[in-house]
Amino acid sequence: MMILRPIQKSDYPALLNIAHESGHGFTSLPVNEELLQNKIARSESSFLKEADIPFDEGYLFVLEDSETGEVVGTSAIEAAVGLDDAFYHYHLSKVIHSSRTLDVYKAVDILTLCNDYTGATELCTLFLKNGYRKGLNGKLLSKSRFMFIKQHQHRFAETVIAEMRGVSDEKGQSPFWQWLEEHFFSMDFPTADYLTGIGQKVFIAELMPKYPIYVNLLSEEAQAVIGQVHNNTRPAIELLKSEGFTFNGYVDIFDAGPTVEAKVSNIRTVQSVQTKRVRLGQPQSGSPVMVANDKLAGYRATIAELHVDATSDEIIVSADLANALNIVDGDSVSIATL
């Protein structure tokens, strides 16, 4: 059984292993012992913190194979981005160059540096190890965060975003960054990506072009990857699109990967969540659904085949499932269809 739960201090070796495996372009998990340990400590503190509004909390989850005890994936939620450090994007838009006298009308794409998503809740740090990219594991790792947001909605913003990993090669080279590097930076993509991951973002404000960039002045290779995702990220963005997330022209300033957004109330899983009271017993056969307890620091979520009666406020679960979710008879759980 796959169980999603908050990360613990003892998960550090597994997190370090995932940071190594995730590779270049996965900014939220830099290969840095101190920062990874700080991420774990910050997450543990966030789950224990009393909060009425979203602020600087970061909730980091791991996916554990209950049979082996192995941590096989991560996902996270940042309650509100950009409140401590500036949160940058490029916004892709158009300007019109026209002259009636010369009978010229031309629409030109431009990229403008902005901080438009300041205060938004961010979905991040989604990674699943190679051998486990099968079945419903990816859906559990990603979609269970929506159940958590639904249960604790006062802790999160109205707008939820997700930055998608952009195009880079096996050496970590980004065609978009190569153009920026040539004209504005003397720093390769892996270095810039790593510095951002460890929180050293001052160089962005100091060296990034302050005025809009005309897209047609970029190299053909750079233009081609604007708004495109890394091959490993395609399943993740398709899943988010199925949840109602849309791309509104915001791209990453390093690799030009797309950022997608949705209002919490428009997210499909949030809309479909049902709250049921647990009754221990022998469950009838049913379809796979996500099921999660309603705890905070003790949050647990998994996928189980359950019979969900829309007319009843009860759900029958087995003793094994109850133990896995750390619930007892009479507790409430959240159920969401897949």
Cβ(136)–Cβ(338) below 8 Å: yes
* Cα(63)–Cα(332) distance, integer angstroms: 22
Between the CA atoms of 11, 14, 15 and 21, what dihedral angle is there, to the nearest 10 degrees? -170
Question: Regarding beta strands 258-263 and 159-163, do their DSSP bridges make them parallel or antiparallel, or are they unpaired?
Answer: antiparallel
Instruction: Give the gyration radius of the chain's Cα atoms.
Output: 22
Select which of 20, 183, 230, 307 is catalytic: 230
Q: Tell me, yes or no, if 230 is annotated catalytic.
A: yes
For 41, how many CA atoms within 13 A lie in the half-sphere containing its CB?
6
Buried/exposed 96-132: b ≥16 CB within 10 Å, e otherwise: eeeeeeeeeeeeebbbbbeebbebbbbbbbbbbbeeb
| Distance from C-alpha of 163 to C-alpha of 58, rounded to nearest angstrom | 16
Residue whose pair of structure tokens reads 């941590």 in the numeric block? 71
The answer to whether the CB of 20 falls within 8 A of the CB of 36 is no
State the angle between helix axes of 33-48 and 12-22 in degrees (0 to 180), rounded to the nearest 10. Answer: 120
Q: Catalytic site residues?
A: 230
